[in-house]
Amino acid sequence: MTRPQVRSDIALRKGYHSPQIDVDVRLNTNEAPAAPPEGFDTALHEALDNIAWHRYPDRGATALRTKLAARYDRAVEEVFVANGSNEVLQTIMLTFGGAGRTAAVFEPTYALHAHISKTTGTAVVEGVRRDDFTLDLDEVRRIVETHEPDVLFVCSPNNPTGLVDPPDTVDAVLDIMSGTNGLLVVDEAYGQFSPTSAVGKIADDVPLVVSRTFSKTWSMAAARLGYLLAPAWLVEELEKVVLPYHLDAFKQAAGVAALEFGSAMDERVALIIDERARLLQQMADLPVQTWDSGANFFLFRAAEMGGDELWQALVDRSILVRNCASWPRLDGCLRVTIGTPEENDAFLAALGEILQ
């Protein structure tokens, strides 16, 4: 049999890989360090008892979207939900990208922005951030004027650098994009850990969407649940594209149950922010460079040890962080997720042992 021909642009590409190794301390994928709060399991079980399993789920995910809308003080029509924020981003690209269209990213940033764009047949133009990884508005202008992207991605806090853009960046980028037909997508997967958000800028006549997720703050990476806040007209377009009944009843119930625990989640976020400050402060005494972060992770690089070597030395001590050393412009860098205080202590002890 001759194999059916894979689309040539897909055949040439590598898939998404994030190595999972069996270790004691996993600080590599920016998940929440703890299971959902006490009471969540009971609430979810009760909700599951009420699911009509033989019926399709509520296609509009009304209960979940209503709760999210209330949390952000937006209208329910301004909320779109999907299977993880990756599916949110994919739906945006299926709607606004495609053949003959262009997306812009500013590297280094979240690899899936370019990956998803390309999968949808969208051309990707890569701008670069400054050497300190901040977003350079002159570079944004150059990219917009040269390519007039249909979609422009900004990630704040940015993954993998952790950097938060100043609050006026979104206005400045929108201003640069005005006069084009482009859409600004602000990925706030880590927004809860950061002091600023673009959600307040969403309005009917502003070409802006903000995506968020239950994977980080809400301790629900396993559930695959993400959402987007956007003008109602835009959500309506996304609903045309997404598969019917894409969000199963189980997941909708899990999201609704989780949102009952808002204050417990806020406390956890505060703890992670404190732990982030503690780790960064303690690492100041080690021969490493660190980057400030507004997320539940940060980037670091050893002064006198290669990234691969340091990553392996941590794995040898049963600690897994993300090895970014071979990523463009991240020579020697590793990214560590903030874990529980005990996990963070184990990471610090291992790092101290390796570097001193």
> Any contact of residue 161 with ligand PLP (CB under 6 A)?
no
> Any contact of residue 164 with ligand PLP (CB under 6 A)?
no
Residue 17 CB, nearest approach to ligand PLP (Å): 13
Residues numbered 209-238 forming contacts with ligand PLP, rule: CB under 6 A: 213, 215, 221, 226
Q: Token pair of 221, please?
A: 């990476």
Residue 324 CB, nearest approach to ligand PLP (Å): 12
DSSP state of 78: G
Query: 101-105 contacts: CB < 8 A, separation 24 or more?
Result: 101/150, 101/151, 102/147, 102/148, 102/149, 102/150, 102/151, 103/149, 103/150, 103/151, 103/152, 103/153, 104/143, 104/144, 104/147, 104/149, 104/151, 104/152, 104/153, 105/153
Residue 158 CB, nearest approach to ligand PLP (Å): 8
Interacting stretch for ligand PLP, rule CB under 6 A, among 56-64, 81-89, 305-313, 338-346?
81-89
CB nearer to ligand PLP: give 231 or 255.
255
Residue 249 CB, nearest approach to ligand PLP (Å): 19
d(CA 312, CA 21): 11
Q: Which of 37, 40, 79, 86 binds ligand PLP (CB under 6 A)?
A: 86
> Any contact of residue 91 with ligand PLP (CB under 6 A)?
no
Residues numbered 320-349 forming contacts with ligand PLP, rule: CB under 6 A: none
Q: Which of 159, 192, 219, 293 binds ligand PLP (CB under 6 A)?
A: 159
Of 356, 348, 201, which is closest to residue 275 (Cα–Cα)? 348
Q: How many CA atoms lie within 13 A of 148 on its CB side?
A: 6
Terminal Cα-to-Cα distance of the chain (whole angstroms): 59
Interacting stretch for ligand PLP, rule CB under 6 A, among 83-91, 94-102, 114-122, 234-242?
83-91
Q: Cα–Cα–Cα angle for 211, 265, 223, nearest 5°? A: 55
> Any contact of residue 28 with ligand PLP (CB under 6 A)?
no
Size of the chain in residues: 356
> Any contact of residue 32 with ligand PLP (CB under 6 A)?
no
d(CA 324, CA 336): 10
The dihedral of CA 189, 226, 109, 322: what is its sign? positive
Residue 128 CB, nearest approach to ligand PLP (Å): 18
Is residue 23 a contact partner of residue 320, using CB atoms and an 8 Å limit? yes
**What backbone phi and psi angles, to 5 degrees, belong to 197?**
-150, 150
Interface characters, 179-198, with ligand PLP (x: CB under 6 A): --------x-x---------
CB nearer to ligand PLP: give 30 or 122.
30
Interacting residues toward ligand PLP by CB under 6 A = 30, 84-86, 110, 155, 159, 187, 189, 213, 215, 221, 226
